[in-house]
Amino acid sequence: MVDDERRRRRDHEESLGDMVERKAARRMRKLREDERPVWFWFGMFGLVGWTVAIPTLIGVAIGIWLDRAFPGKVSWTLNLLIVGVILGCINAWYWVKKELHRD
């Protein structure tokens, strides 16, 4: 009975060790190859586009509202358009950097 328990434990440890070894080998192979498919880059292109477009459109919408509510010499639409583009570019840079340095 004790021998059966020891045998089961040893088999379990071997299978766990094999599993860890397979995962480590797969990770090492991935790190060596590190080639991303074309679809990944299409998705990244879309992500960058939306992360720039959304803040820009929000800035324009708020700017139009401010120009109508508080007319003056300063064009809020133009200023917030520029702010939206800058924020969108910073956001896109963050996502691209995060994706390229992902483990």
Q: Which residue range forms the structural domain that includes residue 41?
A: 36-103
Whether residue 103 is found in the same domain as residue 58: yes
Closest CA to 34 of 94, 97, 92, 99: 99
Q: Is the pLDDT of residue 44 over 60?
A: yes
Structural domains in the chain (count):
2
Q: Rounded mean pLDDT of the chain? A: 82
What is the value of pTM for the model shown? 0.59
Q: Kindly report the number of other CB atoms within 10 A of residue 44's CB atom.
A: 16
Whether residue 29 is found in the same domain as residue 41: no
Q: Which residue has the higher pLDDT, 2 or 16?
A: 16
| pLDDT at residue number 20 | 74
Backbone angles phi, psi at 78, to 5 degrees: -65, -45
